[in-house]
A and B are shown apart, each in its own frame.
Chain A
Amino acid sequence: DAKTTQPPSMDCAEGRAANLPCNHSTISGNEYVYWYRQIHSQGPQYIIHGLKNNETNEMASLIITEDRKSSTLILPHATLRDTAVYYCIVETGYALNFGKGTSLLVTP
């Protein structure tokens, strides 16, 4: 699986959009980009995934660059409950390789 690089931490004001970047420059053609988050010791929660097109669901939007070497997870209106570690994972349908993730702190 391709390796991902994420900033270790980010802050976001409540109500603003949180944009979490991820680099995956070695991604191959059949690998999906998945985003999960983990709220303090709870089970990782699936957010969204995509292959090459941008995706949106009720939780977030995923923007994947045309060359697929990077992506951005967008939480459109962050709330305090969005404070968590966010993991960007590139995978081909097997085990998830959790990297270090981004610790997002949403502040009042």
Chain B
Amino acid sequence: AAGVIQSPRHLIKEKRETATLKCYPIPRHDTVYWYQQGPGQDPQFLISFYEKMQSDKGSIPDRFSAQQFSDYHSELNMSSLELGDSALYFCASSSRAGGETQYFGPGTRLLVL
């Protein structure tokens, strides 16, 4: 079965640079969630989108923004990167019609130097 696809899988950036992470949900899933997992920490919810509209917001820094496009893929844009942004970023998708269970992608490992 098709899974959530995230790209890139690994990303290295310098401080103050910008990064864009992409997420392609499972086909026919209409909701996308972004989570951040710092070293040794548990995943923390950042933001979610349903039908291209922001549906919920967690502890997402103002330097980060995200959107969901007409094909339901989502992008997380991160600007003015800081060392503390180094983390795993997971995307999950779900279907409101299918019962809301979230399925996670493999993650993007971001390293800020």
Contact = CB atoms under 8 A, between A and B. Distances in A.
Interface string A18-38: 000000000000000010101
Nearest to A34: B101
B103 interface: yes
Contacts of B90: 43-44
B79 interface: no
B100 interface: yes
Contacts of B27: none
A41 B102 CA distance: 17
B45 A49 contact: no
Interface residues of B, number: 24
Candidate in A34, A95, A98, A101 with the most chain B CB atoms within 10 angstroms: A95
Question: Size class of A's contact patch?
Answer: 20 to 34
Interface string B53-80: 0011010000000000000000000000
A38 B106 CA distance: 11
Interface string A78-108: 0000000001000001111111110000000
7 contacts: A42-B107, A43-B90, A43-B105, A46-B101, A95-B48, A95-B56, A98-B44
